[in-house]
Structure formats: C-alpha cells, structure tokens
C-alpha cells in the first residue's frame, strides 16, 4: 500500500491536472465566443445590405403601376423623413413603368425644416418630370408639417373622416423658476451673448425674449402659409380663415380647397392613373441602420433643447 504522503502527492497532481484542463476549456470557450462575435460583426452588415436593402432592388412591377411612398409618423431626423421621401421619389421616377406617384400620408407633422426640404424636393422633381403626377392619399391624419409636404403635390385626397390642416407652428417648453424660488434653488447660468440662454426652463424669460420667440414663430408660420398658397393656388377658398392652426375633417376640407376629393390609394391608382397595379417605393431601413438609429435615439432621449419648434 502506498504511503500517505504518496497518496497526497498523487491526489494533488490529479487535482492540478483537472484544474488545468478546466482552465484550458474555459479559455477555448472564450476564444470561440470571441471569434463568433467578430464573425457576426462582420457578417451582419453584409447580410443586412443583401436582405435589408433600403431601396436598391425595389420591385419594378413589370407593367405600368402607381408608385406609393409612405409618409409615416412624426417628421423628424430620427425617422429620416425627408431623405426617405426624396429617395422614394428618385427611385419611382427612374422606373419607366411608373405612371404616377402616390404619397400615402399618415403623420401629425413635425420639423419645419424637414417638412420644407421635402416640399422643395417634390416641387423640384415635378418640374423635372411634368408628365408624371404626384398625388396624396391621406389615411388617418395629415396635419401641420405633413400638410405642408402634401401641398406640393398635384392633388390631395383623403377619407371623409381623415384629419387635415393645422396650418400653424408650435413652440413648447416649461418654466420652473417659481418652483425653484419656493425650494430655495438658485440657477447659475453663465453665457456669452445676451440671448444665449433664451428658452432655458430654469431662467426667467425677459419681455424681449418672449417677443423674439414669437417673431420666430410668426416668420415660420408665414413661410408655411406661402408654401400652401403656392401649392394649392386658386383652389383655396378665401372666405374661411384657413391659417389659424385648426384642423378639418376630410369632408369639410373639400369645399375649403384644402383637398381635392375623397378617395384612397387603390381608387386613386385606378381613377387618376388608370392602373390597378400599386408598387411600394418607400425606402426601407437596413438592419444595421435600424440598430444604429435605435442606439442614437436612446442617447438623444436625454438631450432635448429647451426651445423646440414644430408644426404640431
């Protein structure tokens, strides 16, 4: 029989060997997972570019069709609204089978800047392709910045219960100066420039800043009105004040000249473009693009300006 010290040495040797094997196995698993992560990081963008293409391989339809481009949700940079409209228009116009373009609108509005950019692009493309009409089909709502964009089209249609209009501008924010005084909190804001801190919710507004802010709103509102008048022309009725920011139902908007009739995408394609073939030309975000935007939005959620302007 082995001596106790011999057994002890053997046990320790075996235990060390088992421990070393476990350590080697853990490192092997770690390296495999690392390589898998690297492969996924390389492969996912390629996979997304092949199968999640934004618009490079749109269906041509094979025969004459109505090209549909969606205007969905809030018009802002997160949704990439202006670029999607622009890219959709370019691809639709490139297709020789496109008989006309239908903007399917479902938006409460959003950024004045992006709305203006989309409006200008529609008018530019219309001038380049005068034989291909641009029509709008309002579904639930097309208000404020969405209506600004829609007014660039040749004709606007909606459901009788759709919400349209809201030709106005809104700037919102909060003021906490009263609550801060009650709590004994002092705001220490250092600026270079008299009006640099305008819109700061923790600082009082001066009469001059209130006036300046209103002047900005009125100027943008004037730009909105000019665009609508330019787009709708003599169809607008002058007896009703259309520019107060109120909304109308589709059935009310027809006699006011805000829209041209009651219809939907399929009916517009048949009756206005003489085709029952509807092809979606709305640019789709790739997987990598959606992932990047989601990360960006999570970061941006905590960074909001005190002075924000939008149509709605």
Pairing mode of beta strands 170-172, 308-310: antiparallel
Residue 175 placed within a domain = no
| Number of domains making up the chain | 2
Q: Are residues 16 and 124 in the same domain?
A: no
Q: Are residues 140 and 31 in the same domain?
A: no
Q: Are residues 295 and 211 in the same domain?
A: yes
Catalytic residue among 196, 211, 284, 308: 196
Q: Are residues 1 and 132 in the same domain?
A: no
- Determine the average pLDDT of the residues in 142-155: 96
Is residue 196 part of the annotated active site? The answer reads yes
pLDDT tens, 256-292? 999 999 999 999 999 999 999 999 999 886 544 555 5
CA-based nearest residue to 72, from 169, 138, 125, 153: 138
Catalytic residue among 81, 86, 107, 144: 144
What range does the domain containing 113 cover? 65-170+205-310
Q: Are residues 26 and 126 in the same domain?
A: no
pLDDT tens, 216-248? 888 999 999 999 999 999 999 886 688 999 999
Task: Kindly tell me the burial class for residue 276, based on how many C-beta atoms sit within 10 Å of its own C-beta (0-12, 13-18, 19 or more).
Answer: exposed
Is residue 86 part of the annotated active site? The answer reads no
Distance CA 98, CA 134 (A): 11
Residue 48 placed within a domain = no
Task: Kindly tell me the burial class for residue 101, based on how many C-beta atoms sit within 10 Å of its own C-beta (0-12, 13-18, 19 or more).
Answer: buried
Q: Are residues 1 and 91 in the same domain?
A: no
pTM: 0.73
Residue 120 placed within a domain = yes
pLDDT tens, 116-129? 999 999 999 999 99
Q: Are residues 120 and 209 in the same domain?
A: yes
In the chain, the largest separation of any two C-alpha atoms, in whole Å, equals 115
Residue 147 placed within a domain = yes
CB 205 within 8 A of CB 177: no
């Amino acid at each position: 029989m082995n001596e106790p010290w011999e057994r002890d040495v053997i046990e320790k040797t075996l235990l060390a060997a088992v421990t070393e094997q476990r350590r080697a196995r853990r490192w092997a698993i770690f390296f495999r997972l690392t390589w898998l992560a690297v492969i996924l990081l390389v492969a996912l963008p390629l996979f997304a570019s092949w199968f999640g293409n934004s618009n490079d391989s749109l269906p041509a339809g094979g025969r004459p069709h109505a090209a549909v481009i969606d205007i969905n949700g809030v018009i802002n940079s997160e949704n990439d609204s202006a670029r999607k409209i622009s890219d959709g228009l370019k691809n639709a116009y490139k297709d020789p089978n496109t008989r006309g373009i239908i903007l399917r609108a479902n938006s409460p509005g959003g950024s004045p800047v992006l709305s203006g950019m989309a409006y200008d692009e529609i008018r530019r493309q219309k001038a380049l392709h005068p034989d291909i009409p641009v029509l709008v089909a309002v579904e639930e709502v097309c208000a404020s910045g969405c209506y600004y964009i829609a007014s660039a089209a040749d004709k606007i249609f909606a459901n009788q219960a759709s919400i349209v209009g809201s030709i106005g501008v809104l700037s919102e924010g909060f003021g906490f100066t009263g609550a801060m005084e009650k709590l004994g909190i002092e705001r220490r804001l250092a600026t270079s420039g008299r009006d640099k801190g305008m819109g700061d919710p923790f600082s009082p507004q001066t009469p001059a800043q209130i006036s300046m802010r209103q002047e900005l709103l009125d100027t943008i509102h004037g730009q909105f009105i000019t665009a609508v008048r330019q787009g709708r022309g003599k169809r607008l009725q002058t007896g009703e004040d259309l520019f107060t920011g109120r909304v109308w139902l589709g059935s009310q908007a027809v006699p006011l000249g805000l829209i041209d009739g009651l219809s939907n995408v399929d009916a517009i394609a048949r009756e206005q473009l003489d085709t029952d073939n509807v092809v979606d030309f709305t640019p789709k975000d790739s997987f990598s693009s959606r992932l990047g935007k989601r990360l960006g939005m999570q970061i941006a959620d905590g960074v909001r300006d005190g002075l924000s302007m939008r149509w709605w």
